[in-house]
Amino acid sequence: MSSPAKVSILISGSGSNLQALINASTSTPPTLPNVTFTRVISDRASAYGLQRATTAGIPTSTLGILPYKKRFPDPSGTPAFQSAREAYDADLAALVLQDKPDMVVCAGFMRILTGAFLEPLEKAGVKIINLHPALHGDLVGAGCIERAWAEFEQGKRAKTGVMVHYVIAAVDEGEPILQREVDMAGCKSLEELQERIHTVEHSLIVEGARKVAEEVASKTAH
């Protein structure tokens, strides 16, 4: 067997998708075999996912954006904070690259990554993948489940979906690795739709990570 693929994970919240990855790597037999988790990094110190990582014996780090916004205030009056974002992303990239991972999984990481993060990782040959609760080319950005539900209630939509895709500068537009439709028929509430989507997310993030990890392993074996 080839060396395990080294995987770093970025989170912002409860870490249920992180838990799905951890469980898949430790199940019998593992559904996410031959990986090692190098670090879990959160942009929020209160993220419950950090506790999940610690319980699983995975190193954790926190890197929040607020100190960067204080160092690089935005005089424009709009909440762009481009200089703060780029400084943050450069430091985040440096933190990630310390562990020399083969791939980074954005599992509920609620920040849009700039070139200051993407370019150093691309140069180092690190794959970056993201889980997104919509199909490719459909809904992008935040609030996709809520927007899909609003359209469903208006009779404009009968399905949505989940995808795992490569991360590029254009938000949620990178090449899809895997995607799956979610039928909305019979949904009685936003909460029910959220549950349907989360169930698909927990399996798809494992399948997507496994596919990319296998590609990484096959390249390093040659």
1, pLDDT greater than 60: no
The catalytic residue among 132, 136, 198, 202 is 132
Mean pLDDT for the stretch of residues 192-214: 96
Tell me if 140 is assigned to some domain. Answer: no
Distance, in Å, from the CA atom of 218 to the CA atom of 77, rounded to the nearest integer, reads: 49
Instruction: Answer for the pair 170, 129: CB distance below 8 angstroms, yes or no.
Output: no
What 3-state DSSP class applies to 144?
A: helix
Tell me if 16 is assigned to some domain. Answer: yes
Tell me if 152 is assigned to some domain. Answer: no
Greatest C-alpha distance within the chain: 55
Indicate if 202 belongs to the active site: no
Confidence of residue 221 (pLDDT cuts 50, 70, 90): low
Q: Which of 90, 94, 99, 91 is nearest to 37 (CA)?
A: 99
What 3-state DSSP class applies to 35?
A: strand
Mean pLDDT for the stretch of residues 150-160: 96
The token pair at 61 is 């780090």
For the domain that residue 207 is a member of, what is the CATH number? 3.40.50.170
Q: How many CB atoms lie within 10 A of CB 131?
A: 22
Report the mean per-residue pLDDT for the chain: 94
Print the domain residue range for 83: 5-133+161-181+198-221
Distance, in Å, from the CA atom of 220 to the CA atom of 201, rounded to the nearest integer, reads: 28
| CA 69 to chain centroid | 23
pLDDT for position 222: 58
* pLDDT tens for each residue of 160-185: 999 999 999 888 899 999 999 999 99
